[in-house]
Structure 1
Amino acid sequence: MRFHQVRELVRWAADYHGRLDEAYAGWAAQEGVGERRRMALDYLAEHERRMQRELEAFFAGGSEHRRVLDAWFDDPEEFPHAPVLERLPEGDDGEGVETVLSTALTMHRTLQDLYRHRVERAGSDPEREFFEALVQAEDAEVRRLVRDIQRLEAY
């Protein structure tokens, strides 16, 4: 489908975070996952729940973003799939948390690229500003993830 409302894209992104939460929690619950990796996965699952809640807050009554959310856009590109969810390794390969961090960064790049694409194709200044804010928020989240996971690895 070529025509979408901004709200559909934001809903997709919130659901994406929800799928990541479930995937990280499932990975952490597997037998054979080391303690550090489990802690990193638990942290990532909580992080994804928070990101999902933040995006869902845009849909709350009286949101200042209602006009942007209701805006339509024409884009022949479909929202990206989440193919990297299947990349989550099974068990603990003894590599610490590097694989966890690499996977998390790949997941966030998907959203960063999607938001940047919408900035470039925005039909109005408010829409452009909305997606620029989402790009900046994703950039900040990536920095936070790297910092926090590296701290976990140092312990």
Structure 2
Amino acid sequence: MQVETLKDVLHWTKEFHHHLSHCLSRGVNRQTDERARMLLNYLADHEQRLSKVVSEFETSGDAHVLNTWCYEYLQKSPIVRHQHCEVPFAKLDAAQIIDVIVDQHQQVIELYRYLSARADIPAAKELLETLESLEEHEIMRMVHSTHRFEDL
């Protein structure tokens, strides 16, 4: 996917969460640890919800802002490709699973932070900061919730 505008970044992020949800779901049936299976199910559902939230930004955002070009920024710092399905979630324990998920989300947060720091249009900067904050809060929420699985 060629990412040139903020709308493309949102579309990429929506697909990132959707694809990650799919990868997590695929690992559920192959996982032998019950706690890890529960975690994979929870994370897959959470990623699917995040995909829908980002989709709302993509469809209801200001067209002027969404059409802001960010191509030259991304040439210098390309976005990560969907590589998380290469991770064998079925073979990881709960702690390893959450480490992978946090790492994947940190890459998205860094992308938003990078683009926000270079945004010339205040509305674009605000959108990127909102998305960065959303990702940060969601990863904190996921990590907090996953700690509950350890208590089971």
CA contact (8 A) 1:105 1:142 kept: yes
Number of aligned residues: 149
Cα distance in 1 for residues equivalent to 2:78 and 2:43: 27
Q: Share of identical aligned residues, percent?
A: 24
Verify: 1:85 aligned to 2:85, yes or no.
yes
Shift of 1:27: 0.6
Q: How does 1:20-39 map to 2 (within 5 A)?
A: 20-30=20-30, 32-39=31-38
Shift of 1:90: 3.5
Q: What is the one-letter code of the residue matched to 2:28?
A: A
What do the CA deviations read for 1:22-77 (whole angstroms, capped 9, x no partner)? 100001121x42111111000000001000001111233xx243321121223213
Cα distance in 1 for residues equivalent to 2:150 and 2:64: 43
Query: RMSD value over aligned CA atoms?
Result: 2.0
Verify: 1:135 aligned to 2:132, yes or no.
yes
Cα distance in 1 for residues equivalent to 2:78 and 2:140: 28
Cα distance in 2 for residues equivalent to 1:79 and 1:141: 20
Please list every run of 5 or more consecutive structure 2 residues that lacks an aligned counterpart in the other structure: none
Normalising by structure 1, we get a TM-score of 0.87
1:56 aligns to what?
55
User: Quick check: which one's helix share is greater?
Assistant: 2
Q: What is the one-letter code of the residue matched to 1:37?
A: A
CA contact (8 A) 2:14 2:54 kept: yes
Shift of 1:86: 1.4
CA contact (8 A) 1:3 1:72 kept: no
Question: What secondary structure does 1:119 align onto?
Answer: helix
Please list every run of 5 or more consecutive structure 1 residues that lacks an aligned counterpart in the other structure: none
What do the CA deviations read for 1:61-109 (whole angstroms, capped 9, x no partner)? xx24332112122321332213343123443x6x4x1111111101111
Normalising by structure 2, we get a TM-score of 0.88
CA contact (8 A) 1:6 1:70 kept: yes
